Structure 1
Amino acid sequence: MDQSKLIDQVLREVMRRLSLEGSAVPSGGPKVLVLGEPGCLASPWDEAFVPLFLEGGEPCLHGLEALVVPRLDQCQLVASSLGMWCDPVSRWLVEGLSMGIKAYVLREGLKWMDQLRPGSPLGNHYRECLDRLCAFGVRVVSSPAECFALPERAERVEEAPDGCVGAPFGEGVLDLRGVRLVSEREVKDRCFDGCREVRVDPKAIITPLCMDLLRIRGISVIRGCGG
């Protein structure tokens, strides 16, 4: 092997082991284990925290701020919802949850659930698995700001369902338009005291546990744009 290639390979291995063994957290953001390969996160995710990736070996979970899962497939979802694992992603997700580490799954990484027919037995099965995983402490998020209390970037005003404009609603209204599956965890984490109304898409699915929570809190559900 060429000497320069050998040196480069050794340096890469040393840096990988240092990152997995919990080296000091560089300035600029929290230390997060990304359950995926380098390059699996696009901006602004890669700017929000100091990422460590699964690149073989045994990652050190101590001192981590959170786990981020870019994509969770069917097998990983079912296994982790049962507290089991079938691959490194589900394994370290379960390990992290058992240690009380915050865990976030990107909503983009669950887009395969959009193809599930509402009310079908298999669709209900996967949605129940997701609800169970959320009950363990996992949050489904769309942006880094939902994880680390970072300021949201300015977003374009886009056309919302029923032809209304997706502008912010007034105080006391939680906007969950764009969320296909509204779970109890989604409402608990984002609907605080004073919340009186939740806006969802016309075809959004609201889990039974979430509906019970909304009834207990006296929160109305408006599908589409509402009045």
Structure 2
Amino acid sequence: MTKEKGNSMDEIVQEVLYRLGKIQKAFVIEEVEYPSEILKNAGYLQWLRDIETLEKGMTLWLPGMTRYQMMSIANGLPDDRVSTWCLEALLKGVTVCLRREDLTFLPENHEDSPLLRKHTEALELLTGSGLKLVENNAFEAEKDQSESFLYYRKKLLNEKTARNWKQKAVKEVMIDPKTIVTPLAADVLREGQIKWCKE
């Protein structure tokens, strides 16, 4: 698996913002294949090699979860690398994030039966223990709700995104130098008195 590494200046800026408490790190498991959407949008990525480095306060992203993995974690008997990391993270109080679309078992897609209830209970156990299911493309939305400062890395900043920030009272945005800011988005940022600059 090839990791997308940013330039050293980008990494330095992200580390400074992290230490100032402006952005969070998204921890991912090294040598595990992740959907490109997670790698592009999760923010400040930190690759983990050793399971012992997991600590409370971290946010670990999973690449996906099958119903077999889900049941093995719920039973305390993980059967592969991803489920082992997930179980260890949940036991340590680490927040584990998973895109809802990357979970292969969803109760609403099955007929009611005792077996379905067992699977549903397993999913409820995991979500009650710190597994967080997020909607697709919710990475920025997750950050917008809790922070007045954003670091934006996508290819295009459009009017819709800028209006969303205005509604959520975002005060300041640092934009990736490669991001294209549309004229309408720039107008909305001015209207909302949102300070922005390209690093």
Give the TM-score normalised by structure 2.
Answer: 0.52
Tell me how far 1:91 sits from its aligned partner: 0.8
Which position in structure 2 is the counterpart of 1:41?
Answer: 36
SS at match of 1:93: helix
Q: Answer yes or no: is the 8 Å Cα contact 2:28–2:60 preserved in 1.
A: yes
Give the TM-score normalised by structure 1.
Answer: 0.46
Residues 1:136 and 1:96: Cα distance change in structure 2 (over 3 Å): same
Q: Answer yes or no: is the 8 Å Cα contact 2:61–2:98 preserved in 1.
A: yes
Give 5+ residue unaligned stretches, structure 1: 1-11, 16-24, 156-227
Which position in structure 2 is the counterpart of 1:109?
Answer: 102
Residues 1:30 and 1:128: Cα distance change in structure 2 (over 3 Å): same
2:123 is the alignment partner of 1:123: no
Tell me how far 1:74 sits from its aligned partner: 1.5
Q: How do 1:1-227 residues align onto structure 2 when only pairs under 5 Å count?
A: 26-27=15-16, 29-35=23-29, 37-42=32-37, 46-53=40-47, 57-59=49-51, 60-62=53-55, 65-113=58-106, 116-142=109-135, 143-145=138-140, 147-149=142-144, 154=160
SS at match of 2:110: coil
Give 5+ residue unaligned stretches, structure 2: 6-13, 18-22, 148-157, 162-199
Residues 1:47 and 1:105: Cα distance change in structure 2 (over 3 Å): closer
Question: 1:149 and 1:87 mapped to 2: Cα distance?
Answer: 34
Tell me how far 1:53 sits from its aligned partner: 4.3
Question: 2:107 and 2:129 mapped to 1: Cα distance?
Answer: 22
Question: 1:125 and 1:89 mapped to 2: Cα distance?
Answer: 21
Residues 1:116 and 1:39: Cα distance change in structure 2 (over 3 Å): closer
Q: Answer yes or no: is the 8 Å Cα contact 1:37–1:53 preserved in 2.
A: no
Q: Answer yes or no: is the 8 Å Cα contact 1:73–1:110 preserved in 2.
A: yes
RMSD in angstroms over aligned alpha carbons? Answer: 3.7
Q: Report the more deviating stretch, 26-35 or 98-107.
A: 26-35
Tell me how far 1:115 sits from its aligned partner: 7.8
Residues 1:78 and 1:38: Cα distance change in structure 2 (over 3 Å): closer
Could you give the per-residue CA deviations for residues 88-109 of structure 1, whole angstroms, max 9, x where no partner exists? 1111111111211111121011
SS at match of 1:51: strand
Question: 2:144 and 2:76 mapped to 1: Cα distance?
Answer: 28
Question: 1:63 and 1:113 mapped to 2: Cα distance?
Answer: 28
Question: 2:44 and 2:33 mapped to 1: Cα distance?
Answer: 12
| Structure ranking higher on relative contact order (CA contacts 8 Å, 6+ apart) | 2
The size of the alignment, in residue pairs, is 132
Q: Answer yes or no: is the 8 Å Cα contact 2:57–2:93 preserved in 1.
A: no
Q: Choose 1 or 2 for highest CA Rg.
A: 1
Tell me how far 1:149 sits from its aligned partner: 4.3
Tell me how far 1:118 sits from its aligned partner: 2.8
